[in-house]
Amino acid sequence: MKLIPEQIDRLYQFTRQHYVEWYDLQTELVDHLANAIEHQWQENPKISFEDALQIEFNKFGIFGFMDVVEKRQAALNKRYNKIVWKHFKAFFTIPKIVATFSAIGVFFYMLLSINKQAGIIINSFIVVAILFFWMATIVKRIKYNKIAKASGKKWLFKEVIFGYSNFAGLSYIPIQILVHVDFDSQIGIIKALFFSILIVSMYLVDYIVLFEIPSKAEEYLNETYPEYALENAN
């Protein structure tokens, strides 16, 4: 005996009631529950749909679907980190490597030229950097919410892509530290080079997660979900 469309809709509703808000994960769970219920019917045709559903749900333990959600999030975060790393490495290949080392050189020169009066400039730079990445994060989140509302469906990996900017903007932290670092000592050159590489690297990551990857979100979503393109073509 097979599930009818109304029962499939009930399974989607059931997953939403148990705090699974992402369509892709809902679909995985619905497929699993549907197959399990149909298997139960093969062994006991008299069992009701709702009873069979509760039996299968109880197999997930006291936390319900939360373990499944966490494992899926961890897997997608791992995939996302690999994408970030791929984009980051691209800045150290021709022709981007020229711009990357030029930026490091500019920061290196600036750090060696810092004096007591440079604190005001550095603090101003910090404020501008925070405001820029804060605004970029808000715009990115608004765009994601607008797309999700229009489609009526949330995709977990899309949320990772458009929500990971919560970790962006942290490049201002080493700049704050710079105010208290002495570059006039004998190891000042080494410290200046270290901070130059660190700051440029962090700004590159910020740029990647806020602009580069979101601009290619559809490409990565189509790779992750074969059904995504079909869903968005309708």
11, 53 contact by CB (below 8 A): yes
What's the confidence (pLDDT) of residue 126? 62
* Minimum mean pLDDT range among 1-5, 53-57, 204-208, 228-232: 228-232
What's the confidence (pLDDT) of residue 211? 84
Domain boundaries, the chain: 5-64, 70-233
Question: Mean pLDDT, the chain, as a whole number?
Answer: 81
Residue 56: pLDDT band with limits 50, 70, 90: very high
The contacts of residue 68 (CB under 8 Å, 6+ apart) are: 20, 25, 28, 29, 60
Phi/psi for 77 (5° steps) reads: -65, -40
Residue 22: pLDDT band with limits 50, 70, 90: very high
Cis amide prior to 95 (ω within 30 degrees): yes
Beta bridge partners of 154: 22
52, 37 contact by CB (below 8 A): yes
Residue 182: pLDDT band with limits 50, 70, 90: low
What's the confidence (pLDDT) of residue 114? 65
What's the confidence (pLDDT) of residue 227? 75
Q: Which residue has the tokens 């005996």?
A: 1
pLDDT, tens digit (0-9, with 9 covering 90-100), for 75-88:
999 999 999 999 99
pLDDT, tens digit (0-9, with 9 covering 90-100), for 143-163:
767 766 776 788 889 888 887
What's the confidence (pLDDT) of residue 9? 94
